[in-house]
Structure 1
Amino acid sequence: MNDIGLSPWHLWIILSVLLITAEIFVSGFVLAGLGFAALCAALGHYFGAELGWALLAYVIGALLFFVGIRPFALRTFMHREPSPFGVHGMVGKQVTVIDGPDIGGKFYTVFRDSRWTLESEDDLLEGDSAEIVAVKTSTLVVKRIAR
């Protein structure tokens, strides 16, 4: 490792930064816990100068995070109610039905600057108001609002 100027504890810190950064893309504070443990391992390797101390510090750091810090973080940052953004924020909103250009084709709507295909068990007509009840990939499932 000294050929490139890195000590083993440097590698633990790099791993820690990568794992904590990857937590942005994964929910549940799992990668952040492993990153915290890698940071503990870096300290263990720095002060103990042996791999055994680093691994012991990694295990202790992981246990500390997953038993103590993670439950607190989940209670604090992870809420049970759905986010007002994305798909969950669309349910319950109203849209206006637009007829497709082809005869007997599908109905569409424009919602949040995007064109969406509509699916409904109700008979829809162009100009009807409908409420979004679910989202299936690029299709909005709607219920017609009484005319």
Structure 2
Amino acid sequence: MSVLGLSPWHLWIIAGVLLITAEIFVSGFVMAGLGFGALCAALGHYLGGELGWALLGYALGTLAFFVGIRPFALRTFMNQEPSRFGVRGMVGKQVTVMDSPDVGGDYYTMFRDSRWALESEDDLMEGDLAEVVGVKTSTLIVKRLPR
């Protein structure tokens, strides 16, 4: 089968080059990953001669790009830091320890308009300042700051 006198693997190469070129307009190495997959599909179609091999090459090439190459490229070329939103954004923040009004109740804090239970290896007292070092479900793991 040929389209415009081109073999199917030629079309995969053209699609791959166009997708990699489109990466200029879309950041994040997404289009480049799809283009890399298309180039792998071209290789699979050329070597195997069937569409099934091309689709397998596309799937494996795209998967390899997004799992292995893309994270490396983001760190290297875009200096992208890990996300500081949501739970990850809480780590490193300071909170004030509050004591539960219930007898024998646990310590808690108010952080971002929500009540959070506290867990710490340090001895905490009401009014202490603590730094969030981790988050476990609905509990903040904190380290007491020096007074």
Question: 3-state DSSP class of the match of 1:127?
Answer: coil
The two structures have a TM-score, normalised by structure 1, of 0.55
Give the letter for the 2:70 counterpart.
A
Two-structure CA RMSD over aligned residues (Å): 3.1
- Could you list the per-position Cα deviations for residues 60-110 of structure 1 after superposition, in whole angstroms to 9, with x for gaps in the alignment? 32244345x444423234678532122222111100111112022101101
Measure the CA separation in 2 of the matches of 1:138 and 1:66.
Answer: 34
Structure 2's unaligned 5+ residue stretches are 1-29
CA distance 1:58–1:109, change in 2 (3 Å):
same
Measure the CA separation in 2 of the matches of 1:113 and 1:59.
Answer: 49
Question: 3-state DSSP class of the match of 2:103?
Answer: coil
Q: Residue 137 of structure 2 corresponds to which residue in structure 1?
A: 137
Q: Residue 70 of structure 2 corresponds to which residue in structure 1?
A: 73
Question: 3-state DSSP class of the match of 1:74?
Answer: helix
Measure the CA separation in 2 of the matches of 1:102 and 1:146.
Answer: 27
Number of residue equivalences: 102
Structure 1's unaligned 5+ residue stretches are 1-28, 45-51
Q: Residue 124 of structure 2 corresponds to which residue in structure 1?
A: 124
5 Å matches for 1:1-147? 53-66=50-63, 69-70=65-66, 71-77=68-74, 81-147=81-147
